Amino acid sequence: MTALRNAMPDEELDEQADQGKPEQGRWSQSELLLASAIDALRRVEYVLICANTDSKAKRPAPPEPIARPGARPRRAKPVLTETGARKLFELINGGAA
């Protein structure tokens, strides 16, 4: 089922996500409940690790939820580089004119 879902075109995945009907997806209700339980357990583990980590130490990244039918993985947020920041500053201060 995962291979079928991953082979789906983006348009079909978007349509399924917009409809919001997981019961009509390719996973059964018990599979969706199991995925929810795993996600909750991962969040609890993450909070436990963060609570027991020194405040100055680097904390782990939050856990990613298990991929569900009709949903793509989250995209990473773009990072503003020093060069990009300078360019943006120039554009804001009239550098585009």
Q: SS3 sequence, the chain?
A: CHHHHHCCCHHHHHHHHHHCCHHHCCCCHHHHHHHHHHHHHHHHHHHHHHHCCCCCCCCCCCCCCCCCCCCCCCCCCCCCCHHHHHHHHHHHCCCCC
Task: Give the model confidence (pLDDT) of 22-70 as tens digits.
Answer: 545 567 778 888 999 999 999 999 999 999 988 888 888 999 888 776 5
Check residue 37 and give its pLDDT.
96
Tokens 């079928």, located at residue: 4
- pTM equals 0.51
Contact 26, 69 (CB under 8 A): yes
Phi (first) and psi of residue 60, to 5 degrees: -70, 160
Check residue 29 and give its pLDDT.
75
